[in-house]
Amino acid sequence: MKKLLSIILVCCMLIVSVPFTVSAAVDTSSVGDVTSGTTGDCTWTLDGATLTISGTGAMDDYEVTGIFSGSSAPWSSSSIKTVVIEEGVTYVGNSSFYGCTGITKAYLSDSIESFGTTVFASLYTGNIKAYVGDDTPALTYVKDKNISYKLIRGTTGNCRWSLDGTVLTIGGGTDTGSYFGYSAAGHEFAPWGKDITELIVEEGVQYLSDNNFIESKKLTSVTLPSTLRQIFQYTFNDCSALTEIVIPDSVTVIGIGAFSGCTSLTSLQLPNSSCYIRDRAFSNCTSLASVTVPSKTIKLYDDAFKGCSSLKDAYIMGSGTQFGTDVFLNCNSELVIHGYKGSNSYTYATSAGITFKPFPGVTGECVYEIDGTKVTIYGNGAMGNYTSSNKAPWGTDITEAVIAEGVTNIGDNAFYNCKSLTTLTVPSTVKTVGKWALNGCESVNNFTLPNGVTSIGEFAFSNCASWAQVALPSSVETVGAQAFTGCMKLTSLTIPATLHSLKDDQFANCYYLQSVHIPATLTEFSGSVFRNCNRVGSITVDPNNPVYDSRNNCNAVIETSTNRLVKACDNSVLFDGITSVGDAAFSGCSGKYSIVLPGSVTKIERWAFYGAGFKEIVLPTSVTTIKEQAFIRCSSLQKISVPATAENLSTGLFDSAPNVTIYGFENSKIAQFASSKNIPFKLLGDSNTDNKLSISDVTAIQRQLAELEDTPDAFAADADRHGDVTINDATVIQQYLAEFTDSF
pLDDT digits 0-9 by tens, 393-420: 888 999 999 999 999 999 999 999 999 9
> What does the alpha-carbon distance between residue 292 and residue 289 come to, in Å, rounded to a whole number?
11
The pLDDT tens digits of the residues spanning 459-473 come to 999 999 988 877 789
* Residue 483 belongs to a domain: no
Mean pLDDT score, 52-73? 88
Identify the pLDDT of residue 73.
Answer: 92
**Percent above pLDDT 90 for the chain:** 75
**Residue 601 or 357, more confident:** 601
Amino acid at 368: Y
Sign of CA dihedral 446, 448, 453, 454: positive
Report how far residue 343's alpha carbon sits from residue 174's, in angstroms, rounded to the nearest whole number. Answer: 37
Provide the β-strand partners of residue 617.
Answer: 595, 640
Domain-located, residue 294 = no
| Mean pLDDT, the chain, integer | 90
629 inside domain: no
- Whether 82 maps to a domain, the answer reads yes
- pLDDT for residue 68: 64
pLDDT, residue 16, reads 34
Q: Does the residue 648 lie in any domain?
A: no
Query: What per-residue confidence (pLDDT) applies to 491?
Result: 86
Proportion of the chain above pLDDT 70, given as a percent: 94
What is the per-residue pLDDT for 446?
67
Of 127, 149, 171, which marks where a domain is finished? 149
* pLDDT at residue 34, as a whole number: 66
Do residues 469 and 492 lie in contact, with contact meaning Cβ atoms separated by under 8 Å?
Answer: yes
State the Cα–Cα distance between residues 434 and 287, nearest whole angstrom. 47
**Tens digits of residue pLDDT in 672-708:** 999 999 999 999 999 999 999 999 999 999 999 998 8
d(CA 467, CA 445) in angstroms, rounded, equals 5
Confidence of residue 18 (pLDDT cuts 50, 70, 90): very low
Strand partners, 66: 70
Q: Does 361 have pLDDT greater than 90?
A: no
- Residue 205 CA to residue 231 CA, distance in Å, equals 11
pLDDT at 448: 84
pLDDT exceeds 60 at position 724: yes
For residue 423, what are the β-bridge partners?
400, 446
Distance CA 645, CA 665 (A): 10
Q: Is residue 716 one of the residues assigned to a domain?
A: yes
Alpha helices in 382-527, H assignment, sequence order: none
For residues 574-598, average pLDDT? 92
Q: pLDDT digits over 280-336, tens only?
A: 999 999 999 999 999 899 999 999 999 999 999 999 988 889 999 999 999 999 999
Residue 356 contacts residue 382 (beta carbons within 8 Å): no
Compute the distance between CA of residue 393 and CA of residue 383 in angstroms, rounded to an integer.
12
Question: Once rounded to an integer, what is the mean pLDDT over residues 29-39?
Answer: 68
Q: Quickly state the pLDDT bin for 10 (edges 50, 70, 90).
A: very low
- What confidence score (pLDDT) does residue 35 get? 86
The answer on pLDDT for 592 being more than 90 is no
- Read off the CATH number of the domain in which 726 is found: 1.10.1330.10
- Tell whether pTM > 0.75: no
Q: Torsions phi, psi of 253, nearest 5?
A: -140, 130
Q: Is residue 132 part of a domain?
A: yes
pLDDT (tens digit per residue) in 165-206: 999 999 999 999 999 854 444 446 899 989 999 999 999 999
SS3 138: helix
Q: Give the model's pLDDT for residue 489.
A: 87
Q: In the Cβ-directed half-sphere of 612, how many Cα atoms lie within 13 Å? A: 31
Q: Is the pLDDT of residue 607 over 60?
A: yes
Q: Using the 3D structure, point to which of 133, 149, 165 is the last residue of a domain.
A: 149
**Structural domain ending residue among the three candidates 119, 149, 179:** 149
Residue-level pLDDT at 181? 59
Q: Is pLDDT at 4 greater than 90 in this prediction? A: no
Q: How far apart are CA 549 and CA 556, in angstroms?
A: 8
Class of residue 244 by CB neighbours under 10 A (exposed 0-12, middle 13-18, buried 19+): middle
Structural domain of residue 730, as residue ranges? 685-737
Tell me, what's the pLDDT at 186? Answer: 41
Q: What is the pLDDT of residues 467-497, one digit of tens each?
A: 887 778 999 999 999 999 999 888 888 899 9
Structural domains in the chain (count): 2
At 231-255, the pLDDT tens digits run 999 999 999 999 999 999 999 999 9
